[in-house]
């Protein structure tokens, strides 16, 4: 018997029914705050857009434009210059913190309890793109938002901000609602095996909501962590999210993605560990300089 929060008891349409209206209002508030920010900082603004930066360097904290080099051009999201971009938020905050304290103890403290890090400076990478052979993905491969490789643990971390959930497959909302999956998605056997054997999601049935569509990014991160972890390494799927976003904080009967993933993955003996922290909880732990702290506060409302 699964707990009510377990993802096997939910579907994309059910979650949207609980959260979509509240999320639209939340997203409008966030967007409005970015419009105000760029109106007050016109030297940073794209002249053709109300809440986008003119380039990646100006989207980042003052003096930290060099972090743009850590984000591969091929992996930059289409809307990465928007104030609402979780990708640039993660680069600006985690990138500064990792430069100033490469021990990453702040990350372990935020996500803990995790196996204590074994290396003085764990290896990390933004947008770590998997080899096509890893999960047998072709033509497009999974890219990990923030990848950390320590001898004790391998972390695949998904960074979220204003998104309406974890991110779905490309089959489309209407097709996913009736389990009408594309051949490309059906061919990715590692996803379906992980969904069934690790997350204990129900089998796909035509005519009912697809269990993989709304869990797509979570499943891919879990599959990647399990595949990439070496013997002796604990595979970890991590999530950093906005505590004000109703899809993550919870809304109506929906408990929120952190609670649902915790109920789904953190069973005794589970092959992968799940850990989460909100940006609101993590930012006070980060070793930011004054410029990055001001950027977090003034641009994103994170103190």
Residue of 8, 10, 15 lying closest to 202 (CA atoms) = 8
Which stretches of the chain score pLDDT less than 70?
1, 268
pLDDT of 1 reads 52
Task: Say if residues 157 and 143 touch (Cβ distance below 8 Å).
Answer: no
Distance CA 80, CA 89 (A): 9
Q: Which two tokens stand for residue 185?
A: 């998605």
Task: Say if residues 108 and 94 touch (Cβ distance below 8 Å).
Answer: no
Q: Which residues pair with 234 in a beta bridge?
A: 153
pLDDT of 286 reads 98
Task: Say if residues 156 and 144 touch (Cβ distance below 8 Å).
Answer: yes
C-alpha Rg value of the chain to the nearest Å: 19
Sequence-distant (≥ 6) Cβ neighbours of residue 95 within 8 angstroms = 60, 64, 67, 70, 126
- DSSP structure class, residue 53: B
Residue of 218, 188, 181 lying closest to 201 (CA atoms) = 218
Task: Write down the domain spans for the chain.
Answer: 7-43+103-300
Q: Collapse the DSSP code of 299 into the 3-class scheme (helix H, G, I; strand E, B; otherwise coil) and give the result.
A: helix
């Amino acid at each position: 018997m699964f707990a009510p929060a377990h993802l096997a008891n939910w579907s994309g349409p059910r979650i949207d029914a609980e959260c979509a209206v509240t999320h639209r209002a939340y997203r409008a508030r966030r967007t409005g705050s970015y419009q105000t920010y760029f109106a007050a900082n016109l030297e940073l603004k794209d002249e053709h857009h109300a809440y986008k930066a003119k380039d990646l360097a100006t989207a980042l904290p003052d003096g930290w434009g060099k972090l743009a080099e850590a984000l591969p051009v091929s992996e930059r999201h289409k809307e990465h210059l928007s104030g609402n971009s979780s990708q640039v938020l993660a680069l600006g905050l985690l990138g500064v913190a990792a430069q100033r304290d490469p021990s990453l103890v702040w990350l372990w403290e935020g996500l803990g309890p995790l196996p204590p890090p074994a290396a003085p400076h764990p290896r990390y990478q933004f947008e770590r793109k998997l080899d096509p052979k890893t999960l047998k993905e072709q033509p497009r491969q999974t890219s990990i938002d923030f990848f950390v490789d320590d001898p004790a643990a391998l972390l695949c971390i998904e960074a979220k901000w204003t998104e309406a959930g974890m991110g779905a497959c490309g089959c489309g909302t209407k097709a996913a609602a009736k389990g009408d999956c594309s051949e490309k998605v059906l061919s990715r056997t590692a996803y379906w095996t992980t969904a069934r054997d690790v997350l204990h999601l129900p089998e796909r049935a035509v005519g009912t909501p697809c269990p993989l569509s709304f869990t797509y990014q979570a499943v891919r991160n879990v599959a990647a962590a399990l595949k990439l972890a070496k013997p002796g390494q604990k595979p970890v799927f991590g999530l950093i999210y906005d505590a004000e976003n109703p899809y993550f904080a919870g809304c109506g009967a929906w408990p929120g993605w952190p609670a649902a993933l915790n109920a789904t993955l953190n069973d005794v003996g589970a092959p992968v560990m799940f850990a989460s922290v909100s940006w609101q909880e993590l930012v006070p732990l980060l070793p930011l300089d004054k410029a990055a702290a001001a950027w977090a506060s003034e641009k994103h409302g994170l103190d």
